[in-house]
Amino acid sequence: MIWQLRACDRLPRPAGPGSRVSRRSALRCAAAFFCVAALQAALLLAPGLAQAAPQLLAAVVASVDGTPITLREFQAFRLKSARMLPPEERGNNAVILEALINERLFGTEYRKHGIVASDEDVQIYMDRVFAQNRTSREQVTQGLEQVGLTWDEYFERMRDEVRKAQLINREVRARVNVTPEEVQRYWESEDPFALPERVEIGHIFLPVPPDPTQASVDELLEQARAVREEAAAGARAFENAARKYSKGPTAAEGGSLGVFKRGTMSEEFEAAVAKLREGEVSEPLPSRQGVHILRLHKKMETGRVPLAEVQEEIRSKLYDEKLESRFRRWIQSDLRDRHYVAEFYDEVLALQ
């Protein structure tokens, strides 16, 4: 009777000699007794371990609401459905049994709440998943062949995912909320939203002519000084001069190079910009390729990305994290509390 004692040890006990066992505890013990009795009966049929394997397949490895899960069912699930688990979990019998039990629990909940998924619902879901993952049916089919699954089997697994999503929406999602205060705290504490010192600069580039001579280089420098004087008259003047004279890649945009973190530009550019105040234009900067003229459009001190720009991104991230945590707790605790689950896999394994 050791298995009976071990099974019932997992169930709530009375508080004292005068207390009364709850109806749930009684039902759990009854379910456990039934499953253990089935296990013992299967073992008694075997004259020895060498001949026990066929009979052992009828042994009960778990029970959900009094309905047994046999070793045969567990092995069939491991050979078929467990192939959809992550590769690192496919050889873990405890994880596989947990998945099988959860499948039974989910099935009960689907029937209880009348949750169904039509073929059209499944196809819409799969199309969305394929689009998000940038994959196709042909690619998925190839992957299924590698793990020995058919398209129809995969389709049914996706049907279960659709039903599971409906159940999550009903039981979990409505209970998850992210407050403005949580968004604010996350924004204030996380590095990705911290901004270093930055500069916004404009750029005019005058290239060295082919086969340059000293005379052509001197002429280029003279032109650069004249362009610099014209560009220094103001922001509009710089943009106009860039469009008129610059041969750089951003000439058509008025020479705007964009925003740079301090320390990410070339040493020559960093040194030149460091001497400028907002709105000032640098002296011509000669290089092997030509002459550069820079304007410091704007200097931005350290700070944070404006909350208004990222609050929806933060809220979505926190919501997903909370939803995953709440769903895990719902499976491991809330769902189990609604049903009577007993596991005997270790006992069966010890007898093989």
Could you write out the DSSP letters of every residue in 132-159?
Answer: HHT--HHHHHHHHHHTT--HHHHHHHHH
Phi, psi of 295 (to 5 degrees): -130, 130
Q: What is the pLDDT of residue 296?
A: 94
Q: What is the pLDDT of residue 193?
A: 85
Q: What is the pLDDT of residue 88?
A: 78
Q: What is the pLDDT of residue 20?
A: 33
Q: What is the pLDDT of residue 350?
A: 58
Give the least confident one: 84-93, 191-200, 312-321: 84-93
At 195, is the pLDDT very low, low, confident or very high (cuts 50, 70, 90)?
A: confident
Q: What is the pLDDT of residue 59?
A: 83
Give the least confident one: 22-31, 289-298, 330-339: 22-31
Q: Is the pLDDT of residue 318 over 70?
A: yes
Q: Is the pLDDT of residue 95 over 50?
A: yes
How far CA 110 is from CA of 64, 103, 167, in Å, comes to 15, 10, 7
Q: What is the pLDDT of residue 255?
A: 93
Query: Exposed, middle or buried by CB within 10 Å (0-12, 13-18, 19+), for 289?
Result: exposed
pLDDT single digits (tens) 129-188: 999 899 999 999 998 888 788 899 899 989 999 999 999 888 888 889 999 999 999 998
Q: What is the pLDDT of residue 109?
A: 92
Cβ contacts of 85 within 8 Å, gap of 6 or more: 95, 96, 99
d(C-alpha 44, C-alpha 56), whole Å: 10
- Whether residue 266 lies inside any domain: the answer is yes
Q: What is the pLDDT of residue 42?
A: 39
pLDDT single digits (tens) 255-312: 999 999 888 999 999 999 999 999 999 999 999 899 999 999 999 888 888 899 999 9
What CATH number does the domain containing 258 carry?
Answer: 3.10.50.40
At 93, is the pLDDT very low, low, confident or very high (cuts 50, 70, 90)?
A: confident
Mean pLDDT for the chain overall: 81
Paired strand residues for 202: 256, 295
d(C-alpha 279, C-alpha 226), whole Å: 18
Q: Is the pLDDT of residue 2 over 50?
A: no
- Whether residue 313 lies inside any domain: the answer is no
**Amino acid found at 271:** A
How far CA 277 is from CA of 31, 185, 296, 302, in Å, comes to 81, 35, 7, 17
- Whether residue 272 lies inside any domain: the answer is yes
- Whether residue 235 lies inside any domain: the answer is yes
- Whether residue 183 lies inside any domain: the answer is no
Q: Is the pLDDT of residue 116 over 70?
A: yes
Q: What is the pLDDT of residue 147?
A: 79
Query: Exposed, middle or buried by CB within 10 Å (0-12, 13-18, 19+), for 239?
Result: buried
Q: Which domain holds residue 209?
A: 197-301
pLDDT single digits (tens) 39-81: 444 333 333 333 445 666 678 889 999 999 988 898 888 887 7
What is the model's pTM?
Answer: 0.52
Q: What is the pLDDT of residue 11?
A: 30
- Whether residue 128 lies inside any domain: the answer is no
Pairing assessment for the beta strands 194-195 and 67-70 based on DSSP bridges: unpaired
Q: Is the pLDDT of residue 32 over 50?
A: no
At 349, is the pLDDT very low, low, confident or very high (cuts 50, 70, 90)?
A: low
How many distinct structural domains can be found in the chain? 1
- Whether residue 191 lies inside any domain: the answer is no
At 24, is the pLDDT very low, low, confident or very high (cuts 50, 70, 90)?
A: very low
- Whether residue 204 lies inside any domain: the answer is yes
b/e per residue 38-67 (b: at least 16 CB within 10 A)? bbeebbeebeeeeebeeebbbbbbbbbeee
**Amino acid found at 266:** S
d(C-alpha 314, C-alpha 307), whole Å: 9
